[in-house]
Amino acid sequence: MQADDRLAAIRGRIAHAAKLARRDAADVTLIAVSKTHPAEAIEPLLAAGHRDFGENRVQEAEAKWPALRERYPDARLHLIGQLQSNKAAEAVALADAIHAVDRSSLVTALAKAMDAQGRRPACFVQVNIGEEPQKGGCAIADLPALLAEARTAHLPIAGLMCLPPAGVEAAPYFALLAKLARDEGIAGLSMGMSDDFETAVMIGATHVRIGSALFGERQAAGTAA
Ligand SMILES: *Cc1c(COP(=O)(O)O)cnc(C)c1O
């Protein structure tokens, strides 16, 4: 199947899940996660009118996107991977949205870069929703303080983001993220990937991040994460 056919199929599945949940599919942004895939794989989606793309590494995004954006200036780039504070300025210069704001030092670095550049990409605060030690994301207990800090620093908080534990039913984790967002008065929910996006849409996802279901499997570990 061609990438644009896959895109249409996924849009159809999102629309179906949204309908079941009495939601408007237009309230769900499909982020095509193009990490590890070359510009030639991305172009057909841009040509088909898709505009939201996700990359997890600043360096890779910097290598691919300036040329693509020359041809498609309205493409929107979402940085979805863990971000080092020393990459904050590059991230702010490049991204339309940053989905992995997860700690105080990064809030400070992003705020400084935004003030310096006069550019304010939408920020999603990543929550370590399964309390997994090896994963990024702020601890649930630390979320209110981190959000307060981010608001004080004038980061435009667009939503919460999570990556639920692998290999178990994701729905309870999506529901928990939705509850945390409600408690904090936050509208956006970046959750759901290739294997579970319909569930995420039914639970309220506003942004789903879909890679392999659109582009095919990535190369094995090392390049994949
Ligand atoms: C790679 C990645 C995705 C997409 O994963 P698929 O299973 O390929 O859809 C989504 N979110 C994040 C944070 C990722 O790193």
Q: How far apart are CA 4 and CA 8, in angstroms?
A: 6
Q: Are strands 122-126 and 97-101 parallel, antiparallel or unpaired?
A: parallel
C-alpha atoms less than 13 angstroms from C-alpha of 91 in its C-beta half-sphere = 31
Of 137, 135, 111, 109, which Cα lies nearest the Cα of 124? 137
- How remote is the CA of residue 211 from the centroid of ligand 1, in Å? 6
d(CA 87, CA 128): 21
Please check whether residue 214 is in contact with residue 36, taking contact to mean a CB–CB distance below 8 angstroms.
Answer: no
Q: Considering the chain, what is the average pLDDT of its residues?
A: 95
pLDDT at 225 over 80: no
14, 80, 129: residue to mutate for ligand 1 pocket, most atoms within 8 A of CB: 80
Residues 6+ apart with CB under 8 A from 190: 31, 80, 99, 124, 159, 160, 161, 162, 205, 206, 207, 208, 209
Query: Which pLDDT tens digit goes with each residue over 64-82?
Result: 999 999 999 999 999 999 9
Higher pLDDT, 225 or 204: 204
Using one digit for the tens of pLDDT, what is the confidence trace for 93-151?
999 999 999 999 999 999 999 999 999 999 999 999 999 999 999 999 999 999 999 99
Atom number of ligand 1 nearest to Cα 193: 9
pLDDT at 220: 59
Q: 157-171 pLDDT, tens per residue? A: 999 999 999 999 999
pLDDT at position 217 is 84
CB-ligand 1 contact for 33 (6 Å cutoff) = yes
Residue 195, φ and ψ in degrees, nearest 5? -90, -10
d(CA 25, CA 120): 26
Report pLDDT for 61. 98
Instruction: Identify the three-state secondary structure at position 96.
Output: coil
DSSP state of 27: G
Least confident of 134-143, 204-213, 216-225: 216-225
| Residue with CA nearest ligand 1 atom 10 | 209
